[in-house]
Structure 1
Amino acid sequence: MNLSRKLFLGFIGIALLGIILFGYITYQTALETRSEELTKSTTDNAMQLASILEGSDPARVRQLLRNFQTRQQVLPYNLFIVDRQQAIIFNTLPNEIVAELTPPLLASDANHGHANLKETSLVWSSQSIPNSELTLYLLRQTEKSGFIPFLKHSGLPLVIASLILLWLAIWCAMFLSSLYRRLDQQRRELEFQKRHDSLTGLSNRNSLVEQTELRLERSLPKGECIALLIIDIKRLKEINDTLGHYAGDALLCLIAERLNSVIRENDILARIVSNEFAILLDRISEESVVATTTRIQETLSDGYEIEGHEFYLGASIGVALYPEHALDAINLIRHGEMAMYAAKRIGADITIYDETHKTSTLEQLKLVSDLRTDLENKNIQLYFQPKVNLDNGQAVSLEALARWEHPDHGYIATSRFIHIAENTGLINQLTYWVMEQALKCSQQLQQQGQSLNVAINLSMWNLQDLELVEYLQSLIDKYNVEPSRITLEITETAMMVNHKRALHTLHRLHELGIVLSIDDFGTGYSSMTYLKQLPLGEVKIDKSFIKSMHKQPDDSSMVRAIIDLAHDLGLTVVGEGVESREIAEMLRELGCDQGQGSYYADAMPFEALLGWLERFNQPTRE
């Protein structure tokens, strides 16, 4: 029986007890009142009768009382009269009753009271007859219990009052029971909110810590462990910034559903931060941890559709094991987070914790802060790598590449700091800076008579930027650069976030006259789809095919097929990773239009590029 029902029944029980107590008190009060009334009435009658008998001798008393009794036929009371010697001179009671009553009444110092017989209860009053030596005792009979008269006079009002009290008690009990249920529901809701995420309904960080501690207290079978997975969902912030938090929230709920579908019933799924989830795999072998983590990664990589937009998200997963990596919940979670940050830093899908991640995480935080500072202070450098026409050997285009020289760590790998910029929302600021510097250098080259195209790389998040096209148009007007001299390079992953918006942005750029290029072509599953959908002008074959084409016939065939397909679609073809004359010649024979790689030149600062162009762009190159 729940507390609400107990409260209801208890209140009704108290009400019934109150009714009984009320009835008893009322009954006792009625008895006392009736007794007082009878006593007073008897006393008054005794005084009246004594007044009538004033000054009478015993004989006259007997005569008067017999006459009075004859006229009244039935007296409403009984009486007896005694003289100074307490001898009875007149009596209306049976002799046996008088014999039983007389001794206690005559011995009493009171002038009124109650006397109880076996079947009768009497109220008596004594009164001395004035101017006489006689004493009058008047007795009035009443029912012993008085309950029947009480019911006759007070029963109906008492029943009505009891019913009203009972109705009020039931109403109050129902009100209090309902109030308790509401308060209890609010308490449960507050308790749930304290331990769960309000959006997805999953456990929160506090609940995860508590449940993890409970699991760690149990002994583990040999060969099993407890694994904690920290999952960071990539690109969620940019989706919030692009489509709003409603779309981001809907996406988080879909992610929670997918994760729930992968784990076992005894595992724990929690949302610990805005875009981070945690999964506790209980009593599992290390081999199963790897298999489960891989399955989670595959599940998350499938497309999501929100508000008519299709998204492809990635995830960085950090893994920490008990008892290998930590012996308590707090450190297990902390080490899982360190492993996750390490996975983000190196671009890995899954990383298992090791001790080096402690220092790596601190280093990562400092790099984020330093990158922000250097972007604001314009301490990033811009390098250029030429693209060469394979037919005449002349440089025809330059790819602008950002370089970051850290004061403590030297040059940071481009993939690493670009990854940092994408994950911290700095990518648009970085891209805007690269665009302006590249077009500024292009203007200087034009002024020196060098008609070279300039290529700029775009991140997938740049294509979600609503101000990108207008900003680029303002730079074109500012530096007076022909839009056809600008190439914007995108990778296949650029279309994985809000495909429709990315496609719209690319079409607007194409309408400006800008050349669009697919970078690293051939490495993604949707390469052919992009050739059909996007307004492209150029294709860059990934260097993984180019480097080994002189050794691997399959790669050479793949390169030939890409070149032929691109030419059939009217696209310019660029081969990346040209590191030798042999590869350059093979590409030229296959019909490739341009080559780019260390055989011609590595990326270099603008000042070094000017000298290189003077040496390289001669009428012929041996």
Structure 2
Amino acid sequence: MRRLGHPAKIQLYVTAVSVVGIAAWLAAFSGGARGLLAANGSVALALTVAVVVSELRWMSFAHDEAGELTLSTTFAFALLLSAGTAPAVLVLGAASALGDLLQRKPVQRTVFNVGQYALSLGAAGIVASSLTGDAALLAQPRLSLSGFIALLAAGTAFYLVNTVLTGTVLALRQHLSIASVLRQDVVVHTFTYGVLLALAPAVVVVASVNAGLLALLVLPVIAVYRGARTSMEKDHLALHDALTELPNRRLFLERLASELRMAGPEEQVAVLIIDLDRFKEVNDALGHHMGDRVLQMVGADLQRAAGADALAARLGGDEFAMVLPGVDGADDAVRMAKAVLHKLTSPIEIDDLTLDIGASLGIALYPEHGSDVSTVMQHADVAMYLAKDAHGGYEVYSPERDPQWRQRITSPADLRRAAENGQLVLHYQPKADMRTGRVDGVEALVRWQHPEYGMVPPDEFIPLAERAGLIGVVTSFVLDTALAQLQQWRDDGLDLQVAINVSVQSLYDQRFPEMVQQALHRWSVPAERVVLEIPECTVMADPRRAARVVAELTAIGVTMAIDDFGTGAASLASLRQLPVSELKIDNAFVLGMATDSADATVVHSTIDLGRRFGLSVVAEGVESQRVWQLLERLGCDQAQGFHISRPLPADQLTPWLHNNLKPTTNAEVVRLPKSSTRTAV
């Protein structure tokens, strides 16, 4: 993996600056000592002390990952103007090293600071000497016009060299262009440097009169310090989250945009979107103070996981993100995702409380999953929600599992070609008798096997078919294919019922009953082995018309069922008018009945209602043994759901059916391993 800051390049650059700078400092050693002795003794001594004190009791005017801008800058530049380049380089280098060591900064950073100060002051001295012959411009009682110009040029050289040296470290570490780093806060930094360097001549003059008068410069220095510090804090808050100190959404998007611009043709950039699973429960139960502490701990964990190789950010609420440049494909990003999840899924200890938060993480790659910031972020977000739905920890984005993407790429023309070219396929989900555990039926569920975007579930293209007037084509395919398969199963000794969903448009199509009758005749399937499921909302939209059509279909001999029961508030009167034989409880109620009393009440009431009207009741969405047992105690007739089997193609379901048609106990119903992702049914 190529890391965020190119560690090898950073190491090479820092080493080069350090070596050259230390060499310059050592070269200035003997000359600097002689220069200090030859200069005005009181002035040189006062400025030397001021440089050392400024480094030991430093007052930072600007701060970033590469270094600080302190008051020692003023006194060191003043020493250059009064005693020459070598003394200034010697004193500032020694003072910087002493201050860094006392503050226990890393040795590499200490050496780099000495080097960059030596090079910056050296550049200023060279510029001044080249213009006037001597860098000690204020050693003479009067400053000529050429000397004044040289002073300005020397100050500019110090500023430019120092800024470029430190800015390059940031550019390499953050994988940004040097120009973009130098543009950040350029006005504030230029103003602050300008004021500190402009104070140097005044410092020399005051020290030459009376070193004690240097104390008078404290007030203007404090004024500059407060202004610079306020500006720094505002800039920091604009780009960082106040609670976690992580970069905020704005800085994250800026950095991501820079990463995408600078990525080479063979380089990939990964975006990770992280959402905490149970943060809301903790926040609601224990209060916002505890929630804030959890977020701070999560932020710290992400920062440690990112290290110097990635950028972690808080996007808002309980949502975080990371950007990983230079990843070697999805596997590389997954390794980081697993490391992050390992930290976030470990219990959090706060005030004798053990909190299990958990997280879901989505991964998207540039350029594979998007060529711009917006698209990559959107697709990482989609992957995160897929991970949350599947309770799988993390997911890598894939277009075929993105409903919004498929809705954009599907069109009526695509759907018509799908029907003509055999891209529509059926999967079948078993239905089990709850008294015996015997599988006695299946539901036929249409899928679109898209050649580019994979398996598209029905709720993503059936509305398109209805709008485009193609629902008749889809219904005809489902009816014909399901009955052909049913007859094949009958030939194999599998006597089943097949349930087929009927849309409102098909139900009210005058040709539909004839379509059903012709299909039954074509495949020699007994009508009573076919169940047609109509949504409850269809019945409620026009009860009289629905009753008329349902009566015509039952006259053929097929079984009629009301699907999604409980969502459309069908009245008892409408139920009595409809010649239906089956109620199918909406899976939303079944899924929640083990934990939600309201859902359990709806399920219980529906089963009682079915019993009173002599209707068979089917519960769809049975995904656990607990729900199966609850339904069994309530007297439900049939069950359908992942606890029995996920929907399968006929060639996979057939051997499963041979093993599960015989009676079993309710604990033995599940024979098929669960799928890691839920298929819409």
The answer to whether the superposition gives a TM-score over 0.5 is no
TM-score w.r.t. the length of structure 2 is 0.37
Quick check: which has more Rg, 1 or 2? 1
Counting strand residues as a fraction of each chain, which structure ranks higher? 1
TM-score w.r.t. the length of structure 1 is 0.41
Counting helix residues as a fraction of each chain, which structure ranks higher? 2
